[in-house]
Amino acid sequence: MKFIGNGVSRCNRQDVFSESYQRDSKSLSGIAVEVTYLLSGVIAPPLDGIMTSLIFPQNLPSILVCHVANPQPGNIVLDMCASPGGKTSHMAALLGNQGLIIAIDKSVKKVSKLRNICDSLGATCVHCFCYDSTRIVTDDSSSKISLAVTSSLEETNYQSPPFYPETFDIVLVDAPCSALGQRPQLINTHTVKQIESHVCIQRKLFKNAVILTKPGGTIVYSTCTITLVENECLVYWAMQTMADEIDLIECTPRLGGMGWPGARLSNAQISKLQRFDFSDASCDTIGFFIACFRKRI
C-alpha cells in the first residue's frame, strides 16, 4: 500500500463497500472523499471530454501494448476485443492511418461508442464491426474475400466478419478478464468460478487469433488482471497446444517486470513476458499482463 494523501469521507462506509449498492442502478454519485492533502501537491483535473479530437487518456500498460504490437504502414491489423477504442485508435496513430485496422466488439452499444471515438480522433483506417470474436473464423474457401491495402495506401479493400485464416499481419487479443488489476477498486465480487469462466473465452479468442494471423505475423495477448490462470497459464496452454505454430517472443519495449512463476513456464519463457503489478513501486500503474507471439512461417 502506498500513501498518496489525506481526505475527508463524504459518503458512509455502507454506501462505498456494500455489494448491493454497487449493483444498484440508482447508485449515488458525487464526492465520496474530499481530498485535503496530496503528497504530490498537484490535483490533476479529469481529462474526460477535454480535447477529444486530440487525446484519449489511457493507462501506461495499455499504451505499451500498441508499441509491442508495433504496427507498420501497410499492415492489416485485427483488434478482437476493441472497445472502448483506446488501443485501436492508438494503433491507427502509429500507422499514420496508412494501413487497415478491423475493430471488433460483440456489443452494439460498445461498437457505436468505438466508432465515435475513432471518428473523433481521425482514425480513418479503422473499420468497426459488431461480432463475436469467438466465432470470427470461417473455413468456407468459396466465400474468401482478401483484405488488402492498395499500393497508394489511400484506399483499402475490406470485408465484414467472419474472416478467412491467415488474413492479418497483427492480431491483438486484449481479452475479457476478471479485471483484478484495475485501480482504484474498492470492491470486487468475482467468484473463483467466474474467474475460471473467463479462461474458456480467452482460449477460444487466442486460438482464433493464431488461425487468422499470417505466417510470420504477430499475436499480442493482454489482460488487465493479475491472476496466473488468465495470464501465464494461458501462455503455457498456448505453447503446449500450438507449439508447432507459434513462438513466444520478447515483449519490447520493456517497461514492466517479468512474468510470475507457477504456471510451469521456463525461466526463459517467463523473462519474455511483461507484468505490471502493485508490488513494483518504480512503476505505479494498474495490474496488467502482456505476451507476444510470432506465427511460424
Catalytic positions are 224
- Name the grid cell of 195: 474467474
Residue 216 CA to residue 293 CA, distance in Å, equals 10
Report the residue count for the chain.
297
Query: CB neighbours of 90 closer than 8 A, spacing ≥ 6?
Result: 56, 58, 62, 63, 66
Question: Closest Cα partner for 132 from 87, 169, 81?
Answer: 81
Residue 113 CA to residue 83 CA, distance in Å, equals 8
* Structural contact between residues 107 and 140, judged by C-beta atoms closer than 8 angstroms: no
Phi first, then psi, for residue 108 (nearest 5°) are -60, -45
Question: Closest Cα partner for 219 from 170, 166, 168?
Answer: 170
Residue 80 CA to residue 60 CA, distance in Å, equals 20
* Structural contact between residues 187 and 39, judged by C-beta atoms closer than 8 angstroms: no
- Name the grid cell of 126: 479503422
Which string of DSSP letters, residue by residue, matches 192-227?
A: HHHHHHHHHHHHHHHHHHHHHEEEEEEEEEEES---
Phi first, then psi, for residue 269 (nearest 5°) are -70, -45
**How many other CB atoms are found less than 10 A from the CB of residue 40?**
8
Residue labelled with grid coordinates 512461417:
297
Query: CB neighbours of 185 closer than 8 A, spacing ≥ 6?
Result: none
